Every structure is written in C-alpha cells, then in structure tokens.
C-alpha cells in the first residue's frame, strides 16, 4: 500500500501544482487513499521531495532530480548530524537511534549510498538496523559514520 501510495504521490506532483501537504492529502484521498497529514509528511520525507519556486511567489512540491553523488553525500551528512541520537553495535549489526519520524529518510539515503559493507537496512520510526558483512567491517562503517557526523 505504501509503495502504491508513493507512486501516486510522484504521479500527482509531476502532473499538478501541489503547494501544501494538505493539498497532497486531498488529492490522495480523491484517488482512493486513506491518508492523514502525518502519513503524507512521512511520505514526503522518505521520497526526498523538495519545494521549488512556482509562479506567484509560491512554492510547490517536486521530485528532486537524479541524486548526484555529492548531493547524496551532503544529504547523508546533514541527516546524520540532524537526526542521530545514538549509535550502538554488536557482532555484524549497527543500531542507529534517531529523533522520532526520521529513521526511514536516513535509511533510504544510506541504502542509496551503496556502502559495500552494508548489505541491508531496516527502519522503524526512530531506529535503523544496519546489517554489515563481513562482521569485521562494522568498525569501518562506524568510523565512516563518525567522520560524517564530524
């Protein structure tokens, strides 16, 4: 359901001028999706939607252009610095706690960073589980994260 909804979000904002989360929620409801403003807000974060200028000194939602590696790295650094509360590890796992509502966005950027040691992430509302292979690479990933946290 979430994947279908997010595909519909992308379709809506590419065809219509959507100024607010409430506008987007209304369009989704009209398309048959039962959504709350909080759901729309999470989708916007997870999808990395941006606000761009539109005529009349207003802004509208848009899908960002193909992520440039530098922009992706900058985004990862910013999200780590703004959202991480704590990091812990054991064996071949790293657990990152974020402020509530931010784990999905951070995990999505980490997934797109293509760190070869990270074979997968699982994100909840405020917790990300990174699965590392081989387990000896956990320290390498922790150091990379630490460097980005600066």
Distance (Å, whole) CA 141 – CA 65: 28
Average pLDDT over residues 83-109: 94
What domains appear along the chain, each with residue ranges and CATH number? Answer: 2-62 (1.10.10.10), 69-149 (3.30.1360.40)
DSSP-assigned states of every residue in 37-83: HHHHHHHHHHHT-EEEEETTTEEEEEPPPS--HHHHHHHHHHHHHHH
65 or 31, which is more confident? 31
Residue 67: pLDDT above 50? Answer: no
pTM: 0.57
């Amino acid at each position: 359901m979430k994947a279908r909804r997010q595909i519909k979000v992308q379709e809506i904002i590419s065809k219509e001028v959507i100024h607010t989360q409430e506008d987007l929620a209304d369009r989704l409801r009209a398309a048959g999706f039962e959504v709350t403003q909080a759901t729309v807000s999470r989708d916007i974060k997870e999808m990395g939607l941006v606000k761009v200028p539109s005529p009349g000194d207003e802004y509208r939602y848009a899908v960002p252009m193909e992520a440039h590696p530098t922009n992706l790295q900058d985004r990862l650094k910013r999200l780590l610095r703004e959202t991480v509360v704590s990091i812990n590890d054991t064996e071949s796992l790293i657990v990152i706690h974020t402020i509530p509502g931010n784990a999905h966005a951070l995990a999505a950027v980490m997934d797109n960073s293509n760190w070869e040691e990270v074979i997968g992430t699982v994100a909840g509302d405020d917790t990300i589980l990174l699965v590392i292979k081989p387990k000896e690479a956990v320290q390498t990933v922790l150091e990379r994260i630490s460097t980005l946290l600066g």
